Amino acid sequence: MAKGSKKINWNSIMEKSVRSEMKIVEEPKKPIAMHPKKFAMWLFMASVMMLFASLTSAYIVRQAEGNWLYFELPLLFYYTTAIIAVSSVTMQVAYFAAKKDNTGVVKIMVLITSVLGVLFLIGQVKGWGEMARQGVHFVGNPSGSFVIAISFVHGLHIISAVVFLLIVLNSAIRLRIHSKNMAQMEMCTTYWHFLGALWIYLFIFFLINR
């Protein structure tokens, strides 16, 4: 409970008749109340979900119309998927460390996560190169265009998350992240897991619908 407020018993105030000096308010009934910024973050993720839901359903609708080029997904995508999964683990380790005020570990783990994020991005771009060597280009049959466009848009989100990681790293260096000040860390962790899970969903989606 924040400063400036305490829970006390109504009767005892009445007895002491200090009512006039204090403003008495009803216990607020708040069915859902979250940290507003965290809540906003969830809403943002909902809209990102909708963006990818629209792109993947466009994929299915278009595929159902036929004239669909079948090709092998680049091998690199398997590696990047592994990288993003590992980065979720390092992120979670950083989160636990922050909760235990272990700033040294936080810094290292956030740094590793950012590096893994960059590696993921490089891997994705090289994966497109691999597709090109198979003869599947961005321009051509929509089956290839879709894979590249969707992974590109996902990559843009990863870039935003890496920037967020660097902001968190900066806060950690300035000792602004600790067990009493977890909001930023929590938001970053949630966002990172979300984007990781999103890629894994997309990858499985591509594997199933080829």
Least distance between other proteins and beta carbon 106 (Å): 24
Binding region for other proteins (CB under 8 A) out of 86-94, 141-149, 163-171, 186-194 = 141-149
Q: Please, are residues 187 and 37 in contact by the beta-carbon 8 Å criterion?
A: yes
Instruction: Return the residues of window 30-89 that contact other proteins according to CB under 8 A.
Output: 30-37, 39-40, 43-44, 46-48, 50-51, 53-55, 58, 61-62, 65, 67, 69
Q: Which of 15, 20, 28, 75 binds other proteins (CB under 8 A)?
A: 28
Report if residue 153 touches other proteins, rule: CB under 8 A: yes
Q: Which of 105, 142, 190, 200 binds other proteins (CB under 8 A)?
A: 142
Report if residue 25 touches other proteins, rule: CB under 8 A: yes
Cβ proximity to other proteins, 86 vs 155, nearer residue? 155
Instruction: Return the residues of window 164-203 that contact other proteins according to CB under 8 A.
Output: none
> What's the token pair of residue 69?
């080029």
**Which among 88, 54, 43 has a CA at the least distance from the CA of 188?**
88
> What's the token pair of residue 210?
């080829």
**Which among 79, 89, 50, 111 has a CA at the least distance from the CA of 193?**
89
Round to whole Å and give the CA distance between 172 and 99: 12
Round to whole Å and give the CA distance between 189 and 96: 10
Cβ proximity to other proteins, 48 vs 76, nearer residue? 48
Query: How far, in whole angstroms, is CA 147 from its chain's centroid?
Result: 21
Contact positions vs other proteins (CB under 8 A) = 1-10, 13, 22-37, 39-40, 43-44, 46-48, 50-51, 53-55, 58, 61-62, 65, 67, 69, 138-142, 145-146, 149, 153
